[in-house]
Structure 1
Amino acid sequence: MSSLFSPIQLRGLSLPNRIMVAPMCQYSAVDGEATDWHFTHINSLALSGAAMFCIEATGVEAKGRITPGCLGLWNDACEAALRPIIASVRKHSQAALAIQLAHAGRKASSHRPWEGGQLIPLDQGGWQPEGPSAIAHKEDEPAPLALDAAGLERVREAFVATAKRAMRLGIDAIELHCAHGYLLHQFLSPISNRRDDAYGGSLQNRMRFPLEVFDAIRAVVPAEKPVGIKVSATDWVEGGWDLSQTIQLAKELKKRGVDWIDVSSGGVSPKQKIPLGPGYQVPLAEAIRKETGVTTMAVGLITQPKQAEEIITSGKADMVALARGMLYDPRWGWHAAAELGGHVSAPPPYWRAPPHEQKELFGNTRFGTR
């Protein structure tokens, strides 16, 4: 039996395989509201064969968006725009739906990647970024505003309000974005956090705000629904956030009942030196899993079914999350199941899709004609 296509339980959520479609920013929203692009994108990849689809980084407030095109869930209009998309997924797919809640912090007010991705100045339609400290992401950029006590409370409550909206929409799970140099990661890293209050300095202090946000979300999500977190396990910069600190964070999260840790890396500094290669972040997930016993997801240049199978079989991670690989092959899960001897679900109009030698791909489905 394929390990990749074995079931896994996350609280009350039963997943038939270990594959998640990773949250991928589409930069295609209008005022935070999902568009017909999101309808197409989400519905397509919800039929990929993955057990769970995670909706992209979703801003908890307008100023927390990375770009003007980033998805949000901070008001009724944003909530209403997602509702028909979710209803369509539920009608045609058996995949679980997660959503990643995010705040860009000092990396907010940026152009879309295909427009250069750089900071949008205030006089050109940008907005004022905020962060743990008044330290710019890049040396030639203006510094963000440092969040004061009222700002911290506002952001924390924005995460809570967005989590409640996600629950009203019937979302199955939440992933808290604490990676890639965005706000919660900025609090963790000594590169971006130079505060001298209870939220800066020591490791315990730098972890405080992300843990407060996690606790606040966990408190408003029903007990049977899982809440995970995405982390950058290292900044890839000397003197920055690193694996040993991430393991300490994971231990604190375990005490709080975290359901998974999605292990990525980098993003907090343009000085990072990332050793890119197939599965380059898998050892980070493996180390966290070994040291803490927390359920982990491996991400990053995982493209081949046998590669994903080996990660699960060898105990390096409990799940894999694919992004670019899913965009390149929107039926990646089908093809992986065919190669590894697994089964996936598909709607009846697709039951004739597999080649004859893979006729059991969808289980005991039958398609009659006359």
Structure 2
Amino acid sequence: MSHLFSPISLGPLALANRIAIAPMCQYSADQGLATDWHMIHLGHLALSGAALLIIEATAVVPEGRISPADLGLWSDQHAAALAPVLHSIRKYSPIKLAIQLGHAGRKASSAVPWQGGANIATGDGGWQTVAPSAVPHADGDTVPLALDEAGMVRVIDGFVDAARRSHELGFDAIEIHSAHGYLLHQFLSPLSNHRDDQYGGSLANRMRFPLQVFAAVRAAVPPSMVVGVRISAHDWVAGGWDVEQSVAYTQALEQLGCQFMHVSSGGVSTRQSIPAGPGYQIGFAESIRRETAMPVIGVGMITEPVQAEQIVATGQADMVALARAMLYDPRWPWHAAAELGASVSAPPQYWRSQPSQFKGLFGATQLVQR
């Protein structure tokens, strides 16, 4: 039996296999509102056969958007725009749905990638960014305002309100974005956090605000809703955030009720030097998995079924998450199941596509009505 296609649970959330679709920013929202693009994009990924679909980084306050075209969930209007997308997915797919909630901090107010991705100045349609310290991400960027107590309360309230809306929308899980150089990662890393108060300096102090955000989100939704965290396990810069600190953060999160860790790396510094290659981040996931009872999701240039199977079978990670590979091949789980001798869920409208040599590949889709 394939390990990749064996069931697993994230807390109370039962998953049919170990394949997740990682959150991928689409930069296609209108003032934070979901558009037809989200219906098309998420709809076809929901038919992939993966067990879990994590919707892109969704801003909890307007100034927390990476770009002006980011998805948001800071009002009931934003929830109403996203609701039809979830309804359609629920009608035709058994995939479980999570949403990644985040705040970009000093990396906010940026152009979309296909327009260069550079910081947009306040006089050019951008907005004032905030961060743990008044230190820009890159030379020439808008200098962020260092968050004061009132500013931190606003961020926490934004996460709480967005979490409640996520539950009301019927999401199965929330992933708090604490990676890739965005606000919570900025608090964690000594490269971006230069504070001299209770939120800076020591590891315990740098973890304080991200842990407060997690605790507030966990308390805002019922126990039936899973809450996990995505982290960057290493800054890839000397003197920055590293695996040992990530383990300490993971263990502190676990004590607060965290139910899974999604392990990535990098993003907080322009000085990072990343030796990218197949599975280049899986070692971080493996190190964290050894120190926690929570399921760990591994990522990082996972493109081949045998590669993913080995990661799960050898215990390097409990699940794998694919992003760009899934965009390139939205039926990657089908092809992986065929190669590994497993079966995968597919809608009956597609059963006729099953190749004769893979008889039994498709299992019936059990629709979830809400």
Deviation of the 1:142 alpha carbon: 3.1
**1:132-143 correspondence runs (5 A):** 132-143=132-143
How many pairs were matched up? 365
- 1:176 deviates by 0.3
1:351 aligned residue:
351
Aligned equivalents of 1:124 and 1:142: distance in 2? 11
Q: Deviations over 1:6-51 (max 9, x none)?
A: 0001222110100000000000000000110010000000111100
Task: Give runs of ≥4 in structure 1 deviating > 4 Å.
Answer: none
SS in 2 for 1:312: helix
Counterpart position of 1:28: 28
Partner residue in 2 for 1:187: 187
Deviation at 1:364, TM superposition (A): 6.8
Query: Are 1:65 and 2:57 matched, yes or no?
Result: no
Partner of 2:94: 94
Tell me, in whole angstroms, the C-alpha distance in 2 between the residues paired with 1:140 and 1:92: 47
Which residue is 2:218 aligned to? Answer: 218
1:153 lines up with 2:170 in the alignment: no
Where structure 2 has 5 or more consecutive residues not aligned to the other structure, the ranges are 366-370
- Partner residue in 2 for 1:368: none
Checking the alignment, whether the CA contact within 8 Å between 2:121 and 2:141 is kept in structure 1 is: no
| Aligned match of 1:264 | 264
Q: Which residue of 2 aligns with 1:318?
A: 318
Work out the CA distance in 1 between the residues paired with 2:342 and 2:197: 52
Q: Distance in 2 between matches of 1:50 and 1:272?
A: 32
Give the letter aligned to residue 352 of structure 1.
R
> Does the aligned pair in 1 maintain the 2:260–2:297 contact within 8 Å?
yes
**Correspondence list, 1:151-300, <5 A:** 151-300=151-300
State whether structure 2 residue 9 is matched by structure 1 residue 2: no
What SS is found at the alignment partner of 1:135?
coil
Q: Would the aligned equivalents of 1:288 and 1:294 in 2 still touch at CA under 8 Å?
A: no
8 Å contact from structure 2 (residues 129, 145) kept in 1: yes
Equivalent position of 2:117 in the other structure: 117
CA offset at residue 363 of structure 1? 3.1
Matched position secondary structure for 2:290: helix
Shift of the alpha carbon at 1:195?
A: 0.7
Cα deviations by residue, 1:296-328 (Å, 9 ceiling, x for unpaired): 000010000000000000000000000001000
Q: Is the 8 A contact 2:64 2:104 kept in 1?
A: yes
**For each residue in 1:57-106, what CA deviation from the matched residue of structure 2 results, as whole angstroms up to 9, or x when unmatched?**
00001100000010000112211110000000000100000000010000
Query: How far, CA to CA, are the matches of 2:220 and 2:11 in structure 1?
Result: 15
> Deviations 1:310-357 (Å, cap 9, x if unpaired)?
000000000000000100000001111111111111111111111011
Unaligned runs of 5+ in 1: 366-370
Distance 2:247 2:271 in 1: 23
Residues of 1 paired with 2:343 and 2:183: CA distance?
A: 39
Note the 1:39-50 alignment, pairs <5 A: 39-50=39-50
CA distance in structure 2 between the partners assigned to 1:237 and 1:294 by the alignment: 27
CA distance in 1, matches of 2:221, 2:74: 17
Q: Is the 8 A contact 1:250 1:294 kept in 2?
A: no
Answer yes or no: is the 8 Å Cα contact 1:58–1:100 preserved in 2: yes
* Identical positions, percent: 61
1:101-137 Cα offsets, whole Å, 9 max, x none, are 0100000000001100000011110000000000010
Q: Which amino acid aligns with 1:22?
A: A
The RMSD of aligned alpha carbons is: 0.9
Instruction: Give the CA deviation at 1:291.
Output: 2.1
The farther-off stretch of 95-104 and 136-145 is 136-145
Query: What is the TM-score with the length of structure 1 in the denominator?
Result: 0.97
Q: CA deviation at 1:141?
A: 2.2
1:190-242 superposed Cα distances (whole Å, 9 cap, x missing partner): 01101111111100000000000000001112112211100000000011101
Q: State whether residues 132 and 194 of structure 1, in contact with CA within 8 Å, keep that contact through their aligned partners in structure 2.
A: yes
Distance 1:189 1:294 in 2: 23
Counterpart contact for 2:263–2:298, Cα < 8 Å: yes
State the TM-score, normalizing by the size of structure 2.
0.97
Q: Is the contact made by 2:98 and 2:171 (CA closer than 8 Å) also made in structure 1?
A: yes
Aligned twin of 2:368: none
Letter in 1 for 2:87: A
Q: Is the Cα–Cα contact under 8 Å of residues 251 and 292 in structure 2 kept in the other structure?
A: yes
SS in 2 for 1:47: coil
Match of 1:308 in 2: 308
Separation in 2, partners of 1:53, 1:328: 16
Q: Which amino acid aligns with 1:32?
A: G
Residues 347 and 364 of structure 2 are in contact (CA less than 8 Å); yes or no, is this contact kept in structure 1?
no
